[in-house]
Structure 1
Amino acid sequence: MSHAATSTLATAPLVVALFIAALFTGHDAHATTIYKCTDAKGAVTMQNDTPCPPGAKQEVRHIGELPTAPAPVAKPAEVRAPMGPPPGAQFELVRGPATDTLPASTVAKADRKPPPALFECKTWDNDTWLSETDSPEERCAPLTTTGLNGDPNLGMGAACEIKRDVCTALTEQALCTAWQRRVDEAKFRMTYAPAGEEDARKAEYERRVAAFVDTTCR
């Protein structure tokens, strides 16, 4: 990574902190947008009110959440295998500069239906992420272990507590935007797939495109 890119990364937390602080001085909550750009080589830059260049992965920090429906009634817990944490939610992946177009729909507009449901899920530590199910896999929240004398430095092994994310359905207004982001994300991952993962990422991209192109979103 170049010196310029390193400097940008080093100041990124300060930039984000300053923008958030500005929100409490009376500014409009939507007045500032911070773009996080990742190029094909993995170099990351932060930009204020300037979208990322074409071909770069674009993420944006904004105030407010996608509108959601009321939280569903809790279902009986079903024990499942623990899973790792979702991608960090400090930034939300949004549609970046388009460099290609999706296939044309083969379904008449009058016959199109809304895209499949998506759910905004919140983790035990208040990260948010999008899921295609309202009952995602449970995750294991790490616990601190201590020695017999209470010293955390003498703790033996590792421990965790099973937690379930709380998920609420996106409203129809937010659903199209969310699905477009998911298609863009899959396109980026397919384009820069590491060796051995090309077929899997291409299949995931094609699955998301198929779920989106023939809907009322287009």
Structure 2
Amino acid sequence: MRRWLLLLMGWMSVASAQDVTIYRCTDPTGALTVQNMPCPKGVQQQKKVMTAPAAVPFAPGGSSAASPARTAPSAQPRATPKTEAPAAAPVAAPAPVAPTPPATTSTSTLPPPPLFECTAHDNGRYFTEEREPATRCLPMQTTNLAGGPATGGGSACEVVTDRCAPVPDQSLCEAWRKRAEQAEATWRFSDEAQSAERKQRYDQMRRVLDESRCANPSATP
């Protein structure tokens, strides 16, 4: 009786076959992945149903413990090989910038040399270091005894003297700046033959400004 009971229990333990669904996924790049769940959106999917083997029944006279049923191993997703991005080209480090030396401010309190502002015969104004005003000889029109223009080789001129006055001490720096600006314009617009000489005159005037109290606004009266 016991033998037949064991046979009946073994017959009842036979399980029916189990269906397993496998999904074959192909992405737009052609990479293939096999998995046991539906493919994500945008991926080509092929579905296939497979039958897993049934569980093995108890053998007569065997152990009373039921053998665990074997299940088909779930298909693991096929790993897509990672493509490493090319290493970025090294960026050249910027060249170090030399520090700009701090601007030097003159501490001199010496006044610039005196200047004279002069007015010429045509009312043109200019600055000069000469104390004595300039003298000019303006050509005069000569006539003959009859009152007409002279046709001979004689000539005459009128001597005129520019009117000059000393520049006040509080206006000296401004006068030197104007004189330097005029000298710079004359140098830059001169021809090649006179350029070197006129640049030298301009440099001399700049040194007067840089080495006197004119370079230090707080010391200017």
Measured against the shorter chain, the TM-score band is: 0.3 to 0.5
TM-score, length basis structure 2: 0.45
Which has more helix, going by share of residues? 1
TM-score, length basis structure 1: 0.45
Which of 1 and 2 has greater Rg? Answer: 2
